[in-house]
A and B are shown apart, each in its own frame.
Chain A
Amino acid sequence: MSRVAFLLLIEDDEAVRTALEMSLTRQGHRVVTAPTGEDGLQSLREQRPDLIVLDVMLPGIDGFEVCRRIRRTDQLPIILLTARSDDIDVVVGLESGADDYVVKPVQGRVLDARIRAVMRRGERESNDAVTFGSLVIDRSAMTVTRDGVDLQLTPTELRLLLELSRRPGQALSRQQLLRLVWEHDYLGDSRLVDACVQRLRAKVEDVPSSPKLIRTVRGVGYRLDAP
């Protein structure tokens, strides 16, 4: 890793908080913790972490709400920690803006792998810029502008857009995208892709309900088209 990631862990259960803090610290991350959503939002403002690991079941405002509030101002990566693998929770979590999720009881190594994968998404790479209609993707500056206005994208959204823009006009399956963007294994959750595409469309499309840029390819996945 290029540098030590600075994590904010929001978890109400003291044992879990302590255990995960120890585990993540041991994996080489710098960790601050918060026991409630409110405390977590305050720590976010004061300490500016690189990434948030967020428990869903929190006293007071729950993880989904925390996630939504963070997304209003910040685009930093969020990994949800859910004790419920019930589908509805996962979907609600992804829709509230989370980049990835892990289900309890989580292994430290898995969480670490996810964190590193998320962090890698923000790394810059090539140095050219491409234009899709009114959308300009500057790969060197890692910025995206639409009609000259800077778009606030999370690293995951940005990486998804970059992967799609690298193969314009070519359909990428959800599974491919999961591997490219999320670095998930062969049984990754494709709803991560769907939720992220949805959020991305909301930011880059003129009319998100009838997308012109990020098109759905029936039976395959998604494709970036120049309008």
Chain B
Amino acid sequence: MKGARRGEADDAPRPRGRLRRWAHTLLSLTSLRLRLVTVFALVALVAAVSVSGIAYWLNRDAVLTRAQESALSDFSQSLGDRAGALPDQPTCDALRLMADRVANRTFHYEVVLEDARLPEGDCRAESDPAVFTREMVPDSLRDAVRDRREGQPEDDQYHLYWQRISLDGDPYLVGGAQVIGGGPAGYLLASLAPERDDLNSLAVSLGVATALAVIGSVLLAQGAATMVLRPVQRLSNAARRLGEGKLDTRLAVRGADELAELTRTFNNAAASLEAQVQDLSDRETSSRRFVADMSHELRTPMTAITAMTELLEDEVETLDPRVAPAVQLVVSETRRLNDLVENLMEVTRFDAGTAKMVLDDVNIADQVTACIDARAWLDAVHLDADRSITARLDPRRLDVVLANLIGNALKHGGSPVRVTVREHEDDEGGRLVSVEVADQGPGIPEDVLPHVFDRFYKASASRPRSDGSGLGLSIAMENAHLHGGDITVHNDPVGGAVFTLRLPHDPGLPEDRADDPDSGQETPPGGGASVPPGRPATPAPRRGERSDKGSGKETYDGSAEEDRR
């Protein structure tokens, strides 16, 4: 009930609210310039229309009054004069003569005289029956003329009544008076057409003036808007540049108005922003350099330790059984520390933006096979791939991604790991290569899913990080991003986590290395220009070249560690 009532109450103001909202939207949608011009035009229109209107009405009044008064006073004068000359019992002919005399050619009015008390009865004398007859006099006017005579005490004055009428669309003045002392009633009809024409031309002039005023105000508003908006535009451009990261954007301060103040404020804000960003980036740079230096410095002692632990590992069977587990622990932890240092180096390269790509046309299926073969995972991985799918990418980086995804799946999900390679189109019609790595494990808890690519993210106890460095998936993601691709993760409803790597068929990046032209290869040794900026270029393992894999296997296993940089 309550809800229903509230609904009804809401209904009532809705149309008005909608209208207001609509008007508001319209105003906010249109530009400041349009708003300014509209307001200017409206103000000018209102001012011009009211001035013109007032002028028109005043004028109209004055013109009509003057015309009426001339005609009426002439008529009353003339009527008085002629009435005095009439005999006591005039004939209808005398009245006709009088009407003809009274009718004035100067003021262009015709006259009708009416006297019901004549001996020969009701007489109507019309100066020009074609123009003005007694029937044309409105009854109300006649009544007024007659009533006046009856209701008022008689005096010298002729009581003149007038009325404006419209005949066939033309304005006329009809006036009437009773001659005092039982004389005839006289009526006049004067055309007001000349006055109407004058007033019409005045109205046209005023309309033109109003239009000119509105146009002028619009032009003025445009000019004003341009004047006001140019600095605003400048500020807007500068703000956009600032937003694009050009923090050294400043504006020249002109004048001393509010906009100049705004410009000054903008400059101050930009300067302070630049200083803060500089400060932050300095700190970040130094902390990154620290990590880079640190991981770099770790490598020399790690080399010594690694070489030594290898010796120890070889001797582990001959060692005292009480010491052997300790040695084995040292060996495995050393290996882990090695991985960590390697991954740290890789991460610092990503952070410093120095990670480079060396692109090559790579057969994805071959690459996946090589990756799992080199790590002795062939038995644990089920590969479902179209062997004809190729993509342009950095094979070394793809190997890192694949090794991390598959290794992660094996570690957490257990074998067999399903790897599916597919090719499809993305939303824009570009070709994508997707590699899906699905494990058989319990899946990843929903609250952990968004964090699996975080550095050093510790998952819950249900998915313990065993011997990984905690950087593997993060590095995989960075490598995918470098290719313009992405890695997503979700849990399969059937069970197990599914990581999907999507890479564009061609990242569209310029090739780092001067791949082939002889000139590119022939710069003198030691010359800075000859240094290819790319990482090691590794052409794809092509089909048919893989026959010697067995013989090289020992080297693969060993150098895979070294190559996983």
Cα of A88 to Cα of B349 in the assembled complex, Å: 13
The interface on chain B, measured as residues whose beta carbon lies within 8 A of the other chain's beta carbons, has a size of 59
Interface residue stretch chosen among A121-129, A132-140, A180-188: A180-188
B555 in contact with A218 (CB, 8 Å): no
A209 in contact with B310 (CB, 8 Å): no
> Given that A15-B304, A19-B303 are contacting pairs, would A221 and B539 also be in contact in the complex, using a CB cutoff of 8 Å?
yes
Tell which of A26, A110, A174, A218 touches B558, judged by Cβ atoms closer than 8 Å.
Answer: A110
> Given that A191-B532, A198-B522 are contacting pairs, would A175 and B562 also be in contact in the complex, using a CB cutoff of 8 Å?
no
| Chain A residues, Cβ within 8 Å of B534 | 87
Looking at the assembled complex, report how far the CB atom of A169 sits from the nearest CB atom of chain B, in whole angstroms: 17
Q: Which residues of chain B (87-114) have a CB below 8 Å from chain A? A: none
The answer to whether A85 has its CB under 8 Å from any CB of chain B is: yes
Cα of A113 to Cα of B532 in the assembled complex, Å: 27
B555 in contact with A113 (CB, 8 Å): yes
The answer to whether B197 has its CB under 8 Å from any CB of chain A is: no
B303 in contact with A87 (CB, 8 Å): no
B522 in contact with A113 (CB, 8 Å): no
CB closest residue in chain A, given B302: A105
Looking at the assembled complex, report how far the CB atom of B294 sits from the nearest CB atom of chain A, in whole angstroms: 13
| Chain B residues, Cβ within 8 Å of A151 | none
Tell which of A87, A217, A221 touches B531, judged by Cβ atoms closer than 8 Å.
Answer: A87
B525 in contact with A105 (CB, 8 Å): no
A16 in contact with B537 (CB, 8 Å): no
A185 in contact with B556 (CB, 8 Å): yes
| Chain B residues, Cβ within 8 Å of A219 | 515-516
| Chain B residues, Cβ within 8 Å of A130 | none
Looking at the assembled complex, report how far the CB atom of A181 sits from the nearest CB atom of chain B, in whole angstroms: 13
Cα of A199 to Cα of B524 in the assembled complex, Å: 10
CB closest residue in chain A, given B551: A183
A103 in contact with B301 (CB, 8 Å): no
Tell which of B303, B311, B374, B516 touches A16, judged by Cβ atoms closer than 8 Å.
Answer: B303
| Chain A residues, Cβ within 8 Å of B299 | 83, 104-105
B305 in contact with A175 (CB, 8 Å): no
B559 in contact with A96 (CB, 8 Å): no
> Given that A175-B540, A185-B555 are contacting pairs, would A22 and B522 also be in contact in the complex, using a CB cutoff of 8 Å?
no
| Chain B residues, Cβ within 8 Å of A194 | 521, 532, 537
Tell which of B538, B542, B560 touches A190, judged by Cβ atoms closer than 8 Å.
Answer: B538
Cα of A99 to Cα of B552 in the assembled complex, Å: 19
B552 in contact with A16 (CB, 8 Å): no
The interface on chain A, measured as residues whose beta carbon lies within 8 A of the other chain's beta carbons, has a size of 60
The answer to whether B12 has its CB under 8 Å from any CB of chain A is: no
Tell which of B311, B521, B542 touches A175, judged by Cβ atoms closer than 8 Å.
Answer: B542
Looking at the assembled complex, report how far the CB atom of B189 sits from the nearest CB atom of chain A, in whole angstroms: 108
A216 in contact with B521 (CB, 8 Å): yes
B554 in contact with A113 (CB, 8 Å): yes
The answer to whether A197 has its CB under 8 Å from any CB of chain B is: yes
A 77-107 to B, binary, CB cutoff 8 A, 1 in contact else 0:
0000001111110111001100000111111
Tell which of A22, A90, A106, A186 touches B303, judged by Cβ atoms closer than 8 Å.
Answer: A106
B 529-565 to A, binary, CB cutoff 8 A, 1 in contact else 0:
0111111111111100100100010111011111101
Cα of A201 to Cα of B565 in the assembled complex, Å: 30
CB closest residue in chain A, given B554: A113
A107 in contact with B542 (CB, 8 Å): no
The answer to whether B526 has its CB under 8 Å from any CB of chain A is: yes
The answer to whether A168 has its CB under 8 Å from any CB of chain B is: no
Looking at the assembled complex, report how far the CB atom of B562 sits from the nearest CB atom of chain A, in whole angstroms: 5
| Chain B residues, Cβ within 8 Å of A86 | 354
Looking at the assembled complex, report how far the CB atom of B250 sits from the nearest CB atom of chain A, in whole angstroms: 37
A216 in contact with B306 (CB, 8 Å): no
> Given that A174-B537, A209-B519, A218-B516 are contacting pairs, would A16 and B560 also be in contact in the complex, using a CB cutoff of 8 Å?
no
The answer to whether A39 has its CB under 8 Å from any CB of chain B is: no
The answer to whether A109 has its CB under 8 Å from any CB of chain B is: yes
| Chain B residues, Cβ within 8 Å of A183 | 552, 555
Cα of A215 to Cα of B306 in the assembled complex, Å: 42
The answer to whether B170 has its CB under 8 Å from any CB of chain A is: no
Cα of A179 to Cα of B356 in the assembled complex, Å: 24
CB closest residue in chain B, given A94: B525
| Chain B residues, Cβ within 8 Å of A190 | 536-539
Looking at the assembled complex, report how far the CB atom of B544 sits from the nearest CB atom of chain A, in whole angstroms: 10
The answer to whether A49 has its CB under 8 Å from any CB of chain B is: no
B 392-406 to A, binary, CB cutoff 8 A, 1 in contact else 0:
000110010000000
The answer to whether A35 has its CB under 8 Å from any CB of chain B is: no
Cα of A87 to Cα of B314 in the assembled complex, Å: 34
Looking at the assembled complex, report how far the CB atom of B15 sits from the nearest CB atom of chain A, in whole angstroms: 70
Tell which of A18, A174, A186 touches B556, judged by Cβ atoms closer than 8 Å.
Answer: A186
Cα of A113 to Cα of B296 in the assembled complex, Å: 24
The answer to whether B25 has its CB under 8 Å from any CB of chain A is: no
CB closest residue in chain B, given A13: B300
Cα of A189 to Cα of B564 in the assembled complex, Å: 12
Q: Can you report 9 A-B residue pairs in the complex whose CB atoms are below 8 A from each other?
A: A16-B303, A90-B536, A102-B562, A106-B307, A110-B559, A113-B554, A185-B559, A194-B537, A218-B516
Using A87-B532, A190-B538 as known contacts, list a sample of 18 further A-B pairs with CB atoms less than 8 Å apart, ordered by residue number in A: A15-B300, A16-B307, A20-B303, A23-B310, A91-B530, A95-B530, A105-B305, A106-B303, A107-B310, A107-B558, A107-B562, A108-B307, A108-B310, A110-B559, A175-B540, A175-B541, A186-B370, A221-B539
On A, residues with C-beta under 8 Å from B are 13, 15-16, 18-20, 22-23, 26, 83-88, 90-92, 95-96, 102-110, 113, 117, 173-176, 179, 183-191, 194, 197-199, 201, 208-211, 215-219, 221
**10 nearest A-B pairs in the assembled complex, by CB-CB distance:** A189-B536, A105-B302, A19-B307, A15-B304, A218-B516, A95-B525, A19-B304, A190-B537, A105-B303, A23-B307
